[in-house]
Amino acid sequence: ITLFNDGLVASNKGSAQPKLPQQYVHYIEDGWDKAPLQARSQQAIEYVAEFVPTFNSARTIGNALYGGQQIPGQDDT
């Protein structure tokens, strides 16, 4: 999971569709840049392999999945 400091958005009285910052729209429309994606994925594999050694043989493929989570109410903590 990747959380962004400015990634929390909310609907308003004028629109039920929250407006995301353009950089996040880019991730949704075009995907992640390949080099950082590869590096982050490899770091995750190495981390999990510390606990599950056979996971060390995992390989990165494709693009990262992304999505949004809805938070009911006002408490985002």
d(Cα 63, Cα 44) in Å, to the nearest integer? Answer: 14
Calculate mean pLDDT across residues 46-71: 83
Residue burial 32-69, b: 16+ Cβ < 10 Å; e: rest? beeeeeeeebeeeeeeeeeeeeeeeeeeeeeeeeeeee
Report the number of distinct structural domains present in the chain.
Answer: 1
Task: Classify residue 36: in a domain, yes or no.
Answer: yes
pTM: 0.53
Task: Classify residue 4: in a domain, yes or no.
Answer: no
Asked if the model's pLDDT at residue 47 lies above 90, the reply is yes
Asked if the model's pLDDT at residue 1 lies above 60, the reply is no
Top-confidence residue, 57 or 60: 57
Task: State the residue range of the domain holding 48.
Answer: 22-57
